[in-house]
């Protein structure tokens, strides 16, 4: 059995490969083009979850015998104890298998500066991501604003790896054991 990821994003593929190594899973990881069906910059629980789920469904359709993974980052508002709103980036990971196993996990979050979120929203979440704004204003990789925002302390790959590890760990063990 292999793993098909509903994305060709190198950060997502590397995160899945690292999670597999950490679990001692020796599976080939493939990335396939998949459409999230959401804004380029998902905002909130629903858009982010459905983006990940849609990607997993398309990955499963591409390779029905594989473990299918969809990953989608989004921006979330969280109210603080001081009644202020803070903005965070975090991802959903959705795994679906041909036997209809279904697992959902979330990554840790990293704060998304309000000025970058506001500018991406102004330019239109339909086609503009917060990552592209961070890259334009501060440099770095538009697909990994986490590294730029954390000054290299936390990469997108690291955040995603832990979420994928948790999701794979929740699958039935027989799926993760090589057949002989």
pLDDT, tens digit (0-9, with 9 covering 90-100), for 145-172: 999 999 999 999 999 999 999 999 999 8
State the CATH architecture for 3-110+154-175: Alpha-Beta Complex (3.90)
Would you state the pLDDT for residue 180?
37
Of the candidates 12, 8, 18, 143, the residue with the CA atom closest to the CA atom of residue 62:
8
Whether pLDDT at 91 is above 60: yes
22 — phi, psi (to 5°)?
Answer: -65, -30
Segment 141-150 long-range contacts (CB within 8 Å, at least 24 positions apart): 143/9, 143/10, 143/11, 144/11, 145/89, 145/112, 145/116, 146/89, 146/110, 149/110, 149/111, 149/112, 149/113, 150/110
More confident residue, 167 or 178: 167
* Length of the chain as a residue count: 180
pLDDT, tens digit (0-9, with 9 covering 90-100), for 109-132: 999 999 999 999 999 999 999 999
pTM attached to this predicted model: 0.94
Mean pLDDT of 86-114: 95
pLDDT, tens digit (0-9, with 9 covering 90-100), for 70-83: 999 999 999 988 88
Whether pLDDT at 178 is above 80: no
């Amino acid at each position: 059995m292999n793993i098909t990821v509903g994305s060709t994003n190198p950060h997502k593929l590397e995160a899945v490969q690292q999670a597999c190594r950490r679990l001692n899973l020796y599976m080939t990881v493939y990335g396939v083009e998949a459409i999230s069906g959401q804004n380029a910059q998902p905002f909130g629980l629903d858009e982010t979850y459905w983006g990940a789920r849609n990607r997993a469904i398309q990955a499963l359709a591409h390779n029905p015998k594989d473990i299918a993974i969809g990953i989608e980052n989004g921006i979330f508002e969280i109210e603080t104890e001081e009644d202020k709103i803070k903005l965070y980036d975090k991802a959903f990971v959705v795994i679906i298998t041909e036997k209809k196993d279904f697992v959902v996990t979330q990554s840790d979050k990293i704060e998304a500066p309000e000025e970058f979120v506001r500018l991406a929203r102004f330019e239109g979440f339909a086609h503009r991501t917060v990552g592209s704004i961070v890259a334009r204003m501060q440099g770095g990789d538009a697909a990994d604003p986490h590294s730029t925002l954390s000054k290299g302390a936390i990469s997108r790959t690291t955040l995603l790896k832990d979420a994928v590890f948790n999701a794979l760990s929740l699958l039935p063990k027989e799926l993760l054991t090589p057949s002989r």
